A and B are shown apart, each in its own frame.
Chain A
């Protein structure tokens, strides 16, 4: 037997990288924190569950079909999405969640010494995937909780390949208007790939909020991400997609993992697209939930950042990670924001009122001090 010399085998950029530790399953967490239920308000999931037609797909999926490989490139789903957005099916790539399509794009365009530009306080996966792959992530500070277009443009250098814009931004909920996005794309002038992550697109009701996919014809260097994890409540099935110009998507396809999206996910996603009532119901719930939270947070004297999307960021008079542990003892799971570079903030998924009432009740107790907090 010979020795396993990991020191020699592992590249330096991987040695420096942090392994992501996902939260434990609910049964384990309940044992560890001594609570009788876990209310998950940490991942911006949709508590209403999948649209009714998607539910039927899940309920009626014939077990023997599990023995057969899925469509390797999500053929029917791509065709349907292309039809909805007025694109050619080959302009759409489906992946195992949006995280996978982020990796496709970075792999397609970056080589050693290249960099990406994004914000410092946004969805961490752009930065993680870039650095994990050995590329530098240039991070531009947010301005008034929003992406700073001028700052990002100023940060571009000869080795910049991709600019990532999260629109609306997770976790602040700020967004670029159509005019601002156009202005940014005009200034980039096709010299770099611009990724616009629209994971929370379906939650936004603002008139000036842009539909990035509609701009692809005009800006062939733009790639738009969408997901079925948030509004369509299929997070457990892991499915998302990107859309772009034919030339750009043809390049990305070369790095794409085929057969990574399972049959159930493809069919449930296809069915989810046919349920506009689900979007209305979810938007109503989010609107009501934000209104309720705004009142309660005001009553508690807590500052919050509430923009678009189904989440609210709250600043606490204590460490966010301590708040996480204290709330877990009450069976409420939130997202601590230190990892998003917002120390002392937590992010809460906007859910139905009973869940939000439980959250507010627990929050009030942990802020109240005393032995029982």
Chain B
């Protein structure tokens, strides 16, 4: 398979007459990129709602720039919006609408758009407006649980390789078979998707292979923003060779990233395969076994560059936690305290919500800071009570001063800071966990 760079672009006037042209471009591009009917229709629905929402906000003759691209495992619709500010509130998972309320009714379109896609990223593009990236993933068959196939044979000697697609599928199947679900990211249960995501560079994969014995272990990684790489594994199938194979895989992975823009690697899955001393402990999150018993979930980290030290923003209530973490991790940080001084705030906040249904985890992140953050958080938690979620996390970026003000909102809303991920965002990321998941127990 070759990685495609197929992209369709369209500049279309924000006029109801051109709605069919816009949705038709999205539909035909999606089908041409190999997306199934159901997923295509959902992306078309998102495109239609978005366009319709924008029409009354546009000046006469104003156009929208759209780009539909083939992401191999997904289709991405990138839209540059010539209006500002958007009614951002509609992008919250919990946004409600009422047929009696005209403004809320207008927001319904955006809400439908947000919920029809798998990922939604919003960013400012001053001075023209906002950039929205809507991603709809294709459907893939799931690996049966437990995985199938012959047992792996112990390695006699091995080399670390970039596996071909068939080897990736074997690796994924063995990992699902021999490691508990809590140690394995959900993507391994969809080997075809993993192959496609590796082909388009979203995942990197290494395997330890003996020409006689086949695949004896492997690991994967994925970029989390520009500064951080999340690694999964190493997973080694025979205990006797665990240490040497894991070390070789990790060295190869770290070597691959040593001269990239990544500043660090983080490991939350497959931590038991990481040799002692290879990575640092950032702390742990709490996950619940099916019996309800809380278990610590270690989070490991290895920095790839010499830490240059930095300023970070913090609310006074978070300062003690940050000082303790920075001291423990030997990180040079100058903490700048942020407190509101009565300045104007946007009335609405927006949180992005990332579901990891295979692990019952939800991660919230602030997209937009606003005066209603406490109410918004409370609405999110109410909604999540009804979902099958056992771990709710909230990430704050210490590189963004405005996010610091959310710390007391989170702490009063039942969250507690668990750990710091150096350079995980623009600055360091503070990961909060909702206490009712068992954090703090």
- The interface of chain A, by Cβ under 8 A from chain B, is 1, 3, 18-19, 21, 23-24, 28-29, 31-34, 124, 127-128, 317-319, 321-322, 324-326, 328-329, 335-336, 338-341, 343
Q: Are B279 and A343 in contact (CB under 8 A)?
A: no
Instruction: Enumerate the 8 nearest inter-chain pairs by beta-carbon distance, A residue then B residue, closest first.
Output: A32-B332, A32-B309, A321-B303, A325-B330, A18-B261, A33-B332, A3-B128, A341-B255
Q: Are B307 and A321 in contact (CB under 8 A)?
A: yes
Known contacts A24-B308, A31-B334, A325-B331; decide if A319 and B302 are in contact (CB<8 Å). yes
A3, A28, A319: the one within 8 Å of B303 (CB)? A319
Residue of B nearest to A128 (CB): B259
Q: Are A326 and B330 in contact (CB under 8 A)?
A: yes
- The interface of chain B, by Cβ under 8 A from chain A, is 125-128, 250-251, 254-255, 258-261, 277-280, 302-310, 329-334
Chain B contacts of A24 at CB under 8 A?
A: 308-309
Q: Are A23 and B330 in contact (CB under 8 A)?
A: no
Chain B contacts of A326 at CB under 8 A?
A: 330
Q: Are A340 and B308 in contact (CB under 8 A)?
A: no
Known contacts A124-B259, A317-B277, A318-B277; decide if A339 and B330 are in contact (CB<8 Å). no
B126, B254, B310, B329: the one within 8 Å of A3 (CB)? B126
Chain A contacts of B258 at CB under 8 A?
A: 338-341, 343
Q: Are B126 and A321 in contact (CB under 8 A)?
A: no
Residue of A nearest to B302 (CB): A319
Report A50 CB to chain B, min CB distance, Å.
Answer: 26
Chain A contacts of B333 at CB under 8 A?
A: 32
Give complex CA distance A339, B304 in Å.
Answer: 7
Chain A contacts of B331 at CB under 8 A?
A: 325
Give complex CA distance A324, B126 in Å.
Answer: 39
Report A53 CB to chain B, min CB distance, Å.
Answer: 35
Chain B contacts of A340 at CB under 8 A?
A: 258
Known contacts A127-B259, A336-B306; decide if A328 and B332 are in contact (CB<8 Å). yes
* A29, A329, A336, A343, most chain B CB atoms within 10 A: A343
Q: Are A325 and B332 in contact (CB under 8 A)?
A: yes
Give complex CA distance A329, B309 in Å.
Answer: 12
Q: Are B305 and A338 in contact (CB under 8 A)?
A: yes
Chain A contacts of B303 at CB under 8 A?
A: 319, 321-322, 325
Known A-B contacts: A32-B309, A319-B302, A343-B255. Give 8 more (CB < 8 A). Answer: A21-B305, A24-B309, A31-B334, A32-B333, A318-B277, A322-B280, A325-B331, A335-B306
Residue of A nearest to B126 (CB): A3
Q: Are B334 and A32 in contact (CB under 8 A)?
A: yes
Residue of A nearest to B303 (CB): A321
Chain A contacts of B310 at CB under 8 A?
A: 32
Q: Are A341 and B259 in contact (CB under 8 A)?
A: yes
24 pairs, CB–CB < 8 Å, chain A vs chain B: A3-B125, A3-B128, A18-B259, A18-B260, A19-B261, A23-B308, A24-B308, A28-B309, A31-B334, A33-B332, A317-B277, A318-B277, A319-B277, A319-B303, A321-B302, A321-B304, A322-B280, A326-B330, A336-B305, A338-B254, A341-B255, A341-B259, A343-B251, A343-B258
Chain B contacts of A1 at CB under 8 A?
A: 127
Chain A contacts of B280 at CB under 8 A?
A: 319, 322
Residue of B nearest to A139 (CB): B259
Chain B contacts of A325 at CB under 8 A?
A: 303, 307, 329-332
Chain B contacts of A339 at CB under 8 A?
A: 258-259, 304-305
Give complex CA distance A118, B383 in Å.
Answer: 57
Give complex CA distance A3, B302 in Å.
Answer: 39
Report A342 CB to chain B, min CB distance, Å.
Answer: 8
Residue of A nearest to B260 (CB): A18
Known contacts A319-B280, A329-B330; decide if A33 and B309 are in contact (CB<8 Å). yes
Chain B contacts of A124 at CB under 8 A?
A: 259
Known contacts A319-B280, A319-B302; decide if A29 and B259 are in contact (CB<8 Å). no
Give complex CA distance A328, B329 in Å.
Answer: 12
Give complex CA distance A341, B125 in Å.
Answer: 37
* A24, A33, A325, A329, most chain B CB atoms within 10 A: A325
Known contacts A29-B332, A343-B251; decide if A321 and B306 are in contact (CB<8 Å). yes
Report B215 CB to chain A, min CB distance, Å.
Answer: 23
Report A125 CB to chain B, min CB distance, Å.
Answer: 11
Give complex CA distance A34, B279 in Å.
Answer: 24
Give complex CA distance A323, B331 in Å.
Answer: 11
Residue of A nearest to B334 (CB): A32
Give complex CA distance A124, B411 in Å.
Answer: 45
Chain B contacts of A19 at CB under 8 A?
A: 261
Give complex CA distance A338, B261 in Å.
Answer: 13
Give complex CA distance A318, B332 in Å.
Answer: 19
Residue of A nearest to B258 (CB): A338
* B304, B306, B309, most chain A CB atoms within 10 A: B306
Report A13 CB to chain B, min CB distance, Å.
Answer: 13
Give complex CA distance A18, B259 in Å.
Answer: 8
Give complex CA distance A31, B259 in Å.
Answer: 28
Chain A contacts of B279 at CB under 8 A?
A: 319
Q: Are B305 and A321 in contact (CB under 8 A)?
A: yes
Residue of A nearest to B310 (CB): A32
Known contacts A3-B126, A339-B259, A341-B258; decide if A21 and B308 are in contact (CB<8 Å). yes
Chain B contacts of A23 at CB under 8 A?
A: 306, 308
Q: Are A324 and B306 in contact (CB under 8 A)?
A: yes
Report B398 CB to chain A, min CB distance, Å.
Answer: 14
Residue of B nearest to A22 (CB): B308
Q: Are A324 and B277 in contact (CB under 8 A)?
A: no
Give complex CA distance A318, B276 in Å.
Answer: 9
Chain B contacts of A32 at CB under 8 A?
A: 309-310, 332-334
Give complex CA distance A236, B306 in Å.
Answer: 21
Chain A contacts of B128 at CB under 8 A?
A: 3
Chain B contacts of A21 at CB under 8 A?
A: 305, 308
Report A301 CB to chain B, min CB distance, Å.
Answer: 14
Chain A contacts of B250 at CB under 8 A?
A: 343
Chain B contacts of A338 at CB under 8 A?
A: 254-255, 258, 304-305
Q: Are B332 and A343 in contact (CB under 8 A)?
A: no
Chain B contacts of A34 at CB under 8 A?
A: 332
* A18, A29, A34, A321, most chain B CB atoms within 10 A: A321
Residue of A nearest to B128 (CB): A3
Give complex CA distance A3, B125 in Å.
Answer: 8
Report A126 CB to chain B, min CB distance, Å.
Answer: 12
Report A354 CB to chain B, min CB distance, Å.
Answer: 24
Q: Are B278 and A328 in contact (CB under 8 A)?
A: no
Report B331 CB to chain A, min CB distance, Å.
Answer: 6
Report A29 CB to chain B, min CB distance, Å.
Answer: 6
Report A371 CB to chain B, min CB distance, Å.
Answer: 10
Chain B contacts of A336 at CB under 8 A?
A: 305-306
Report B160 CB to chain A, min CB distance, Å.
Answer: 12
Chain A contacts of B308 at CB under 8 A?
A: 21, 23-24
Report A147 CB to chain B, min CB distance, Å.
Answer: 18
Report B256 CB to chain A, min CB distance, Å.
Answer: 9
Residue of A nearest to B257 (CB): A338
Report A128 CB to chain B, min CB distance, Å.
Answer: 8
Give complex CA distance A23, B212 in Å.
Answer: 48
Give complex CA distance A359, B305 in Å.
Answer: 20
Chain B contacts of A128 at CB under 8 A?
A: 259
Chain A contacts of B254 at CB under 8 A?
A: 338, 343
Give complex CA distance A220, B303 in Å.
Answer: 44
